[in-house]
């Protein structure tokens, strides 16, 4: 079919001038194209009708695989951010992270203390799941494997008033909560500098 169309596209511009004078040649030229086109369509129809079950099963299997690959690639390359709420209450600095859909063992938190006295909190929720299913028919068998990975992460700079050595953590109803004690602030001092004359 590609050859026929290529011949048509290449031949047509060159032969239009000579064919204008001979309408019978033009008609036979297009009749030949139509004949080859109809033969090609008939061959395709025959192949599809003879192998319809196998083709359908292969398409279904590959569509499923394609969806799984797309989901896997999206979740691998897109780490979405956690929703956080921070506030102070009862002399505590509280952080609540929305981790709905994650189990207790799938949520973790880590604190990095910097030399300058600041602290960075990283909360991560991650789940991995894989499943396999098989489908057999008279002519073939199809097995499908899928793997899903979901990862949410949030990094927060903690205020200097937070005591990172004293905290309480809980995970209930899709909410991961960290409560840090607040340091007692030292009263500010005023130092007067005297310059000797």
pLDDT value at 9 more than 50: no
pLDDT value at 188 more than 70: yes
Q: What is the mean pLDDT of residues 167-184?
A: 91
Host domain of residue 106: 79-182
pLDDT value at 140 more than 80: no
Q: What is the residue-wise DSSP string for the chain?
A: -HHHHHHHHHHHHHHHHHHHT-HHHHHHHHHHHHHHHHHHHHHHHHHHHHTHHHHHHHHHHHHHHHHHHHHHHHHHH--EEPEEEEEEETTEEEEEEE-TT--GGGEEEEEEE-TTS-EEEEEEEEEEEEEEEEEE-SS-EEEEEEEEEEEEEEEEEEPTTEEEEEEEEEEETTEEEEEEEEPPPPPP---------
Residue where a domain terminates, one of 53, 72, 91: 72
Q: What is the residue-wise DSSP string for 135-158?
A: EE-SS-EEEEEEEEEEEEEEEEEE
Contacts of 68 (CB under 8 A, 6+ apart): 144, 145, 146, 147
Whether residue 175 is contained in a domain is answered as yes
Residue predicted with more confidence, 100 or 55: 100
Number of domains in the chain: 2
CATH code of the domain containing 88: 2.60.40.790
Whether residue 197 is contained in a domain is answered as no
pTM of the model: 0.49
What's CA 87's distance to the chain center, in Å? Answer: 32
Q: How does pLDDT run across 11-70, given as a tens digit for each residue?
A: 454 455 555 556 677 677 777 887 777 787 777 767 766 666 676 666 666 665 555 555
- 8 A C-beta contact, residue 144 and residue 64: yes
Contacts of 1 (CB under 8 A, 6+ apart): 36, 37, 40
Residue where a domain terminates, one of 37, 57, 72: 72
Same domain, 108 and 172: yes
């Amino acid at each position: 079919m590609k050859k026929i169309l290529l011949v048509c596209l290449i031949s047509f511009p060159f032969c239009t001038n000579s064919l204008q004078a001979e309408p019978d040649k033009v008609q036979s030229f297009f009749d030949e194209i139509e004949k080859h086109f109809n033969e090609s369509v008939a061959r395709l129809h025959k192949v599809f009708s003879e192998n319809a079950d196998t083709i359908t099963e292969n398409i279904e299997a590959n569509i499923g695989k394609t969806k799984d690959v797309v989901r896997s690639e999206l979740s691998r390359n897109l780490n979405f951010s956690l929703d956080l709420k921070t506030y102070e209450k009862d002399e505590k600095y509280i952080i609540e992270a929305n981790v709905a859909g994650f189990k207790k063992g799938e949520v973790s938190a880590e604190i990095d203390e910097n030399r300058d006295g600041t602290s960075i909190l990283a909360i991560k929720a991650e789940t991995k799941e894989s499943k396999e299913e098989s489908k057999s028919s008279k002519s073939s068998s199809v097995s499908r494997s899928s793997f899903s990975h979901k990862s949410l992460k949030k990094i927060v700079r903690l205020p200097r008033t937070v005591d990172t050595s004293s905290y309480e953590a809980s995970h209930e109803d899709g909410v991961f909560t960290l409560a840090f004690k607040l340091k007692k602030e030292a009263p500010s001092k005023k130092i007067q500098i005297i310059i000797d004359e």
